[in-house]
Amino acid sequence: MISLLTLPAVSLPLRTSSNSRLVSSALNENAARLRCFGLRNAERSRVSMSVSVGSQQTVEDSLFLDYKPHCAFLFPGQGAQAMGMGKDAQDVPAAAELYRKANDILGFDLLDVCINGPKEKLDSTIISQPAIYVTSLAAVEVLRSRNGGQQIINAVNVTCGLSLGEYTALAFSGAFSFEDGLKLVKLRGEAMQDAADAVKGAMVSVIGLDSNKVQQLCDAANVEVDEADKVQIANYLCPGNYAVSGGVKGVEVVEAKAKSFKARMTVRLAVAGAFHTSFMEPAVSRLEAALATTDIKTPRIPVISNVDAQPHADPDTIKKILACQVTSPVQWETTIKSLLTRGLKKGYELGPGKVIAGIVKRMDKGADIENVGA
Per-residue confidence (pLDDT) for residue 51, from 0 to 100: 42
If asked whether residues 254 and 134 sit together in one domain, one would say no
Domain count within the chain: 2
If asked whether residues 243 and 137 sit together in one domain, one would say no
Show the domain range for 41: 26-195+278-372
Q: What is the pLDDT of residues 66-91, one digit of tens each?
A: 999 999 999 999 999 999 999 999 99
Which of these three, 268, 289, 320, is where a domain ends?
268
Q: Which residues are catalytic?
A: 163, 276
Residue 10 lies in a domain: no
Category of 222 on φ-ψ map: left (φ > 0), alpha (ψ -120 to 50) or beta: alpha
If asked whether residues 246 and 287 sit together in one domain, one would say no
Count other C-beta atoms under 10 Å from residue 353's C-beta: 20
If asked whether residues 226 and 344 sit together in one domain, one would say no
If asked whether residues 173 and 314 sit together in one domain, one would say yes
Per-residue confidence (pLDDT) for residue 271, from 0 to 100: 85
Q: Do residues 146 and 88 make contact, with C-beta atoms less than 8 angstroms apart?
A: no
If asked whether residues 229 and 304 sit together in one domain, one would say no
Q: What is the pLDDT of residues 96-142, one digit of tens each?
A: 999 999 999 999 999 999 999 999 999 999 999 999 999 999 999 99
- Neighbouring residues of 54: CB distance < 8 A, sequence distance ≥ 6: none
Residue 49 lies in a domain: yes
Parallel, antiparallel, or unpaired for β 201-207 and 71-75?
A: unpaired
d(CA 318, CA 207): 32
Q: What is the pLDDT of residues 174-188, one digit of tens each?
A: 999 999 999 999 999
DSSP 243-310: EEEEEHHHHHHHHHHGGGGT-SEEEE---SS-TTSGGGHHHHHHHHHHHHTS-----SS-EE-TTTS-
Q: What is the pLDDT of residues 266-294, one digit of tens each?
A: 999 988 899 999 999 999 999 999 999 99
End-to-end CA distance of the chain: 22
Mean of the per-residue pLDDT values for the chain? Answer: 87
If asked whether residues 123 and 155 sit together in one domain, one would say yes
Q: What is the pLDDT of residues 190-232, one digit of tens each?
A: 999 999 999 999 999 999 999 999 999 999 999 999 999 999 9
Per-residue confidence (pLDDT) for residue 374, from 0 to 100: 94
User: pTM of the full predicted structure?
Assistant: 0.86
If asked whether residues 211 and 252 sit together in one domain, one would say yes
- Neighbouring residues of 87: CB distance < 8 A, sequence distance ≥ 6: 114, 115
If asked whether residues 113 and 186 sit together in one domain, one would say yes
Would you give the DSSP letter of residue 203?
E
If asked whether residues 67 and 138 sit together in one domain, one would say yes
